[in-house]
Structure 1
């Protein structure tokens, strides 16, 4: 369990904890010039920018889908084809961000010409970097939760496909897990995606190595919460790894992080945090039993506060009449398909 808080009046910004640490890092603790790499703060801020811009793009697309109308034939009058590409970019950005964290640990370690290794994590292992294994072990569960999807897209031609569940007629009834309080969401639309693959029965459908029994999908209401909270968890562990490295290599303790007012970011971190916190707590059926990070955002008199709890808790379940809407590309050879939840 990890509870994280960021407050603008105290921290100057709502970025993950590593942001302030790297911005204030003493030049004597970095060897980026010897490694012919950017300054570690530059690596982190550029990486964070890419992730946040991808979050923003997916959130914008969810807004478009959630407000789109249905035509006379009952079909959504807005194509879902952009969503898979935007989600793929987000997953790529998140995996690259973890790689960038390894690069940061590399450039705060003295250059070793005897170690020729292109992958930063392998380089860290070979030089016996004092913070590599603790950091690697702390974030391993998160990376392995989505890396197989990214790898299948990169190396196996995997495709992400969009899916949406929505209510018609009587709609749905949602109940909180802890107290059983009922709510009646209006215009409930649960947008998500699944990795398409060949199934053992010869059908094209959800990849059985990613999705349970080849019949499920991933809701963005849960997925965006999960990745957003873990982005901060990774940043917290990175800050600890930097402090450990400085202590063991230089015999010094990092000073307490001071407030850093961020005015250079090309994204609105407060807006993104607020939008993620306000995503409807409605997930796909297979996600009912999964713990979901709790994300709270507050803003008052120009001061903003972000509170994250991971792994969180069970939000709610729901039942009722729903429709399933999905889009795919017809295969010229295989004509049998397995849709999620059918």
Structure 2
């Protein structure tokens, strides 16, 4: 699973970059995080595939799930699309498109100071003058980058928000409430190894500190709360508190291989 591959890899890389003398395994994070971004984009298409199945086929066959759902006029699908389209087309889509078709690379960088450490990345691309730097189609300027902390929180929030919107579409069209799997004895969701792994992942993401890149320091971010029992998860976007102030003494401590 892409999520479960990314979190341990980031933890290892953070530890390696915090201490001198270690050789960081940057390539592992670049590959695994790129795989996660691809999986998130494919998840959106999978949501359209589900919506396509809950309504009669359109009169004219459509190759793409999104076009078929629009032609079918699936109840609730417009609300899904209205909310998800900006995330898909303006945020996630351009990044995945460059990685998949533009021969761009995801490049890790880190800011370090005596009191702070922020790990992040940028998608490389040609800039004016022929130099390689943050791709203009993804980043707002040549000094821009994404922190893994904020990026993961944003994608995690959208994962749950899309699931909520998709569940509403399915319920409206099949006429029944979607409920968690029960053991038949009224004791709730059947515990499983997969569920426990998901709870561990939820806790790891809830523990992410709001330490972001300089140009993200004024941007909103999601709050993720998981109680000790792991029986629920609460997501709030925007979070009711500001990100931690970026340390002005922080310098780029790692900018990836050339």
TM-score, L = length of structure 1: 0.67
Distance 2:132 2:99 in 1: 15
Greater helix proportion = 2
Query: What's 1:309 paired with?
Result: 236
Q: Which runs of 4+ in 1 moved over 4 A?
A: none
Greater strand proportion = 1
Query: How much has 1:322 moved relative to structure 2?
Result: 2.4
1:119 aligns to 2:64 (yes or no): yes
Query: What's 1:55 paired with?
Result: 3
Which residue of 161, 167, 176 corresponds with 1:233? 161
Q: Do the aligned partners of residues 310 and 206 (structure 1) sit closer, same or farther apart at CA in structure 2, a change above 3 Å counting? A: same
Structure of higher CA gyration radius: 1
Q: Do the aligned partners of residues 263 and 110 (structure 1) sit closer, same or farther apart at CA in structure 2, a change above 3 Å counting? A: farther
Cα RMSD for the two superposed structures: 2.0
Query: How much has 1:268 moved relative to structure 2?
Result: 0.6
Give the number of aligned pairs. 246
CA contact under 8 A between 2:167 and 2:178: conserved in structure 1? no
Which residue of 191, 204, 223 corresponds with 1:294? 223
Query: How much has 1:262 moved relative to structure 2?
Result: 5.3
Q: Do the aligned partners of residues 280 and 295 (structure 1) sit closer, same or farther apart at CA in structure 2, a change above 3 Å counting? A: same
Q: Which runs of 5+ in 2 are unaligned?
A: 181-187
CA contact under 8 A between 2:3 and 2:36: conserved in structure 1? yes
Deviation track 1:282-310 (CA, whole Å, cap 9, x = no partner) reads 1100001110000111114xx53311102
Query: What's 1:153 paired with?
Result: 99
Query: What's 1:64 paired with?
Result: 12
Out of 195-204 and 320-329, give the one that drifted further: 320-329
Distance 1:115 1:161 in 2: 44
SS of equivalent residue, structure 1 residue 163: strand
CA contact under 8 A between 2:171 and 2:177: conserved in structure 1? no
Deviation track 1:79-134 (CA, whole Å, cap 9, x = no partner) reads 3122111111001100111110100011111234x432221011111222223222
Query: What's 1:163 paired with?
Result: 109
Higher relative CO (Cα under 8 Å, sequence separation at least 6) belongs to: 1
Deviation track 1:247-300 (CA, whole Å, cap 9, x = no partner) reads xxxxx4x23735442527387111001001112221100001110000111114
Which residue of 94, 108, 111 corresponds with 2:54? 108
Q: Do the aligned partners of residues 85 and 111 (structure 1) sit closer, same or farther apart at CA in structure 2, a change above 3 Å counting? A: same
SS of equivalent residue, structure 1 residue 299: coil
Which residue of 64, 68, 88 corresponds with 1:143? 88
1:218 aligns to 2:146 (yes or no): yes
CA contact under 8 A between 1:193 and 1:218: conserved in structure 2? yes
1:131 aligns to 2:76 (yes or no): yes
Distance 1:159 1:311 in 2: 30
1:78 aligns to 2:42 (yes or no): no
Q: Which runs of 5+ in 1 are unaligned?
A: 1-52, 173-187, 247-251, 330-342
CA contact under 8 A between 1:115 and 1:127: conserved in structure 2? no
CA contact under 8 A between 1:196 and 1:205: conserved in structure 2? yes
